Amino acid sequence: MLLLGLTGSIATGKSTVSSLLREPPYSLPIIDADLIARQVVEPGTPGYNAIVDYFLPTTPDLLLDAPGKPLNRPALGRRVFGAGEERERDRKKLNSIVHPAVRRQMYKQMVWSYLRGSWAVVLDVPLLFESGWERYCGTILVVGVSDPAIQIQRLRARDAHLTEDDARNRVSSQGDIREKAERCLRRGKGKGVVVWNDGGKEELEKEVQRVMGEIRAKSPAWWSFVLWVCPPVAVVAAGVSWYRMRGVQLAWEAEKRREKAKL
């Protein structure tokens, strides 16, 4: 089974691509990290309790006045997004609560997709590179836009409560999408694909059709069947892919460290 990593940045169209891949003719199972991240912090969960314990003393509006006292996500976002040592510390704390719980749920869903015989499963992870999922994916698809101003415009149109500064902070917190695109392409042909979403939905659909044709050609039906009926082969194939992609990841990170050292 192919692990197809889907990533991008906020307001680049990643969710639209995810929706397209869920429907025919692709009909792929989607493991949505954002959705899971919401589920693991619902009232009564260990994640919810940990966030309340840490953030409530300094964030009075953390909880909504509604049944169950759900999290006030805009208030939590203002607390963790943006520049500054304090916000960076709080963002790391939030990630340390949410990410382990998300990973556990993702592993469960991946196993279930394999048992059902899916030829591929989409890992919809906004911070795929930053969270370390890169090395587990046989192929990565990055959805991007060429100008950050497009992201800010789309984000504010989607979330009307955001100020321009709020939108800018959220865009910058997820890194430069153009750098993610470059990192993706370093994986090599068939292992890293970029879809630029500067136009409308019709253009995006055509791009998705094109890249999925390329991806499917690299993972033919017979190979998917072999991996399903022979779990040891699947384990070996996954190990080889992980080792190769780990090498690509480490080479990229070493290059960035060298560039930073020159500054």
Query: Would you state the pLDDT for residue 254?
Result: 93
Q: 128: which 2 tokens?
A: 């795929």
220 and 110 housed in the same domain? no
Query: Would you state the pLDDT for residue 83?
Result: 79
Helix (H) or strand (E) run with residue 102 in it: helix 85-115
13 vs 198: CA distance, rounded Å: 9
Asked if residue 171 is part of any domain, the answer here is no
Tens of pLDDT, residue by residue over 199-224, are 888 999 999 999 999 899 888 888 88
Asked if residue 150 is part of any domain, the answer here is no
What's the chain's average pLDDT? 90
Strand ranges (DSSP E) for the chain?
Answer: 2-7, 30-32, 120-124, 139-144, 192-196
Tens of pLDDT, residue by residue over 130-145, are 888 999 999 999 999 9
The mean pLDDT value for 189-207 works out to 90
Rounded to two decimals, the pTM is 0.82
110 and 132 housed in the same domain? no
Tens of pLDDT, residue by residue over 179-188, are 999 999 999 9
Total domains in the chain come to 2
Cα-to-chain-centroid distance, residue 38: 14
99 and 224 housed in the same domain? no
137 and 257 housed in the same domain? yes
Asked if residue 162 is part of any domain, the answer here is no
9 and 128 housed in the same domain? yes
- Top pLDDT among 241 and 147 is at 241
The mean pLDDT value for 82-100 works out to 87
Query: Would you state the pLDDT for residue 34?
Result: 87
The CA–CA distances, whole Å, from 232 to 112, 141, 151, 228, 244 equal 17, 27, 44, 10, 19
Confidence of residue 193 (pLDDT cuts 50, 70, 90): very high
164 vs 182: CA distance, rounded Å: 27
Query: Would you state the pLDDT for residue 49?
Result: 94
185 vs 190: CA distance, rounded Å: 9
128 and 245 housed in the same domain? yes
Phi/psi of residue 63, nearest 5 degrees: -110, 140
pLDDT of 226 higher than 80: yes
Domain range enclosing 8: 1-29+120-144+176-263
Asked if residue 151 is part of any domain, the answer here is no
74 and 101 housed in the same domain? yes
* 99-103 contact pairs (CB < 8 A, 24+): 99/131, 101/40, 101/45, 101/46, 101/47, 102/33, 102/36, 102/37, 102/40
